[in-house]
Amino acid sequence: MPPDRLSTTFAALADPTRRAILARLVSGGASVTELAEPFAMSLPAISKHLKVLERAGLIARGRAAQWRPCRLEAGPLKNVADWVEGYRRFWEQSFDRLDDYLRELKAARANVWLSNTNTGSARTGKTLAHPKVSKAKTAREDKL
């Protein structure tokens, strides 16, 4: 999907009224009057929102006599989902790395605690902190 087309889709999705219209169209086609019912705005205002959605390719309007039913066109939403997918993978990998790091810290703390328990240091009541944490804490305290 060319970036300008993606931008057009995001621009159309940026408005909560247009997102609500799309959510309504998920359950099936509807007329402009039906789409306007839940909103405190005029039919011409709703029509402007529909034109934005139509230009973005998110809806299609048919013609049945004087009735112009609107229906959802999900293709551009799939393109947005595909674009966002790469970022989802990035965040999942970042969270997985954070998970691994936290497991390592937890294991290191457990090992420190066990070694202190065996040497009697646990009876002193002093908390042993990770060296990096201690340095950062000291640096913060020095600033105060």
Q: What is the pLDDT of residues 39-82, one digit of tens each?
A: 999 999 999 999 999 999 999 998 877 778 999 999 999 999 99
Query: Is-contact 53 64, C-beta < 8 A?
Result: no
Judged against a pLDDT cut of 70, whether residue 143 lies above it is answered with: no
Place of tokens 């998970």: 99
Query: CB-based burial of residue 49 (10 Å sphere; 0-12 exposed, 13-18 middle, 19+ buried)?
Result: buried
Q: At what angle do helices 43-55 and 3-13 cross, to 10 degrees?
A: 160
Higher confidence at residue 115 or residue 34?
34
- Tell the residue number behind the tokens 């011409």, with chain if given: 44
Q: Report whether pLDDT(127) > 90.
A: no
Q: Report CA torsion sign: 52, 56, 57, 58.
A: negative
Question: Residue range 135-141: average pLDDT?
Answer: 58
Q: Give me the pLDDT at residue 142, please.
A: 60
